[in-house]
Amino acid sequence: MRAELRGLDSDDALAGLESFRPEDADVFALAVGASIGPSEGPGADLFYFHVCSPRWIEENPPPKGFEFMHSYLVLSRWNYATLLRALTDLCLHTEGEDWEQIAMKLSRYGAWEF
């Protein structure tokens, strides 16, 4: 069984991620929720990602000089197709005996709703 990306959403992109255009495609950050479920059946869970650029990280350094980066997805510049490809690829390469195993593996990359 594999994971399957079912949808993407962001409160930071009210008109939708496909039409989202940051002020600067090289310096951006937004929260994205990915609806991911088992390839062999209905249902999905939410996994949350902080999607940002390297320049955004550079311009917003960690206040203590370090930061653990769980649930961050870094894109060299904003491009919806790249975001979609990254998360689709993650799902295609995440397999398990059941949904619980798959979700646990996905939670290494994104913040699982559970």
Q: Give residue limits of the domains in the chain.
A: 3-112
pLDDT of residue 14: 87
Asked whether residue 87 carries a pLDDT value surpassing 90, the answer given is yes
Query: What's the rounded Cα separation, in Å, for the pair 90 and 107?
Result: 11
The percent helix, strand, coil of the chain (3-state, each to 5) is 25, 30, 45
* pLDDT, the chain, mean: 96
pLDDT of residue 26: 97
Beta strand residue intervals within 10-105, DSSP E: 29-38, 45-52, 72-74
Whole-model pTM: value is 0.92
